[in-house]
Amino acid sequence: MELWLKEGQIEDAVMTYKIKETLVRRMTPYQDLAIVDTYAFGRMLVLDGIVQTTIKDEYVYHEMITHIPLFTHPNPKKVLVVGGGDGGAIREILKHPSVEKAVLCEIDGCVIEECKKHLPEISYALDNPRCEVFVGDGIKYVHEHKNEFDVIIVDSTDPFGAAEGLFGGSFYKEIFDCLTEDGIFVAQTETPFYLPDVVKKVYKDAKAVFPITKLFMAAIPTYPSGYWSFTIGSKKYDPESVKVDLPEDMKLKYYTAKLHNACFTLPKFIEDIIR
C-alpha cells in the first residue's frame, strides 16, 4: 500500500508527496503536527496539513529569510525570531559572529520538541548558548520589548488561524517599536501566483510603517508555486545598496553576495502587484 501526503492549502491546486514513514503525528494545543519521511524531500514538518520545511530544500528559505537582513545591518547583535520553532532561522543567524543573542519566540512548544527529535540537522542550534528559547505569544512578546532588537524575523506559518495576526496591520507598528533605531525586520509573505492579495497587503502595511520597504524572491520547491516572497522593512539601511563581504567559512548553499542584490529585481507582474 502506498501512502501519500496531499497538501491542499491552495483551494484550486494540490501538492502530493509519497511517504516512506510517519515519524510523529499529534494534536498540540494549537495545531495538527506531523513529521513524515518522504521519498522526494526526506523528512518533512507538516502543520495542519501544510508543509513547513523539509530536509532537502529548507536551506533556501532559512538562508534567505536570515542573511538578507543580517548582511544588510552593519552590526547585528541581538536578533528575534517570531515563530520558526524548527530552529532553521536560528541556525543561520548564529553563523554571524556579531550576533551576541538570538531569541526564538515560538507559541507551540511541541514544534520545538519534535523538531529536536526528528529534524536535528535543522534544529541543533536551539541548544547553542547564544540562543534563548521562549515559548509564548510572539505578538505579546514584541509588544513587551521596546527598542531592543537589531533584527526581527517573522518566520510564521501561513496567514490562517494562530498566525493570522502576524501578517501586517498593527503588528508591524509593534515590530517597529521593538527594533532599535537602525533596526530591520523581514517576514515570509507567501506566493504572488496564488495569493497576490496577501503579498500586496503585507507590502502595503510594511511600507506604511518603514521608511525603506522592499520585496525579494526565492525559489522553494515545496511551497505552493515554488516561487516565494519575503518583505523587508528597514529604518535606515537599504538592502539593495549593500556590498556583501561573505566570509569564506560560512557554509551556505543558496545565498550569495551577488544573489543578495539580484533577488530584489522583480518580474513585472510582481511589480504590478505591489505598485
| CATH number, domain containing residue 36 | 2.30.140.10
Do 118 and 23 belong to one domain? Answer: no
Does the pTM surpass 0.85? The reply is yes
Same domain flag for 49 and 146: no
Shared-domain flag, residues 228 and 101:
yes
Sort strands 101-106 and 131-135 into parallel, antiparallel or unpaired.
parallel
Q: Answer yes or no: is 234 a known binding residue.
A: no
Q: Are residues 50 and 119 in the same domain?
A: no
For the record, the C-alpha cell of 8 comes out as 491542499
Distance, in Å, from the CA atom of 121 to the CA atom of 48, rounded to the nearest integer, reads: 23
In a shared domain, residues 180 and 94: yes
CA distances from 233 to 31, 215, 230 (A): 29, 9, 10
Total structural domains in the chain? 2
Establish whether 155 is an annotated binding residue.
yes
Is 180 labelled a binding residue? no
29 and 78 housed in the same domain: no
- Is 157 among the annotated ligand-binding positions? yes
Give me the domain span that covers residue 15. 3-54
Sheet holding 179-188, edge to edge: 131-135, 101-106, 78-83, 149-155, 179-188, 227-234, 212-219
CA separation, residue 91 to residues 67, 130, 232 (Å): 11, 11, 20
138 in a labelled binding site: yes
**CA gap 242, 238 in Å, rounded:** 7
127 labeled part of a ligand binding site:
no
Q: What is the CATH number of the domain that holds 92?
A: 3.40.50.150
Dihedral, 153, 159, 161, 162 alpha carbons, nearest 10: 10
Cα dihedral 194, 195, 196, 199, rounded to 10, equals -140
Give the integer Cα–Cα distance in Å for 115 and 214.
31
* One domain for residues 49 and 63: no
The reply to whether 38 and 147 lie within a common domain is no
Same domain, 16 and 118: no
Bridge partners of 135? 106
| Residues 12 and 135 both lie in one domain | no
Q: Do 36 and 127 sit in the same domain of this protein? A: no
Query: Which of 12, 27, 54 is where one domain is finished?
Result: 54
From first to last of the 275 residues of the chain, give the pLDDT tens digit. Answer: 789 999 888 888 899 999 999 999 999 999 999 999 999 999 999 999 999 999 999 999 999 999 999 999 999 999 999 999 999 999 999 999 999 999 999 999 999 999 999 999 999 999 999 999 999 999 999 999 999 999 999 998 655 554 455 555 789 999 999 999 999 999 999 999 999 999 999 999 999 999 999 999 999 999 999 999 999 999 999 999 999 999 988 999 999 999 999 999 999 999 999 99
Tell me which residues are annotated as active site: 155
Co-location of 25 and 152 in the same domain: no
The number of beta carbons lying within 10 Å of the beta carbon of residue 75 is 9
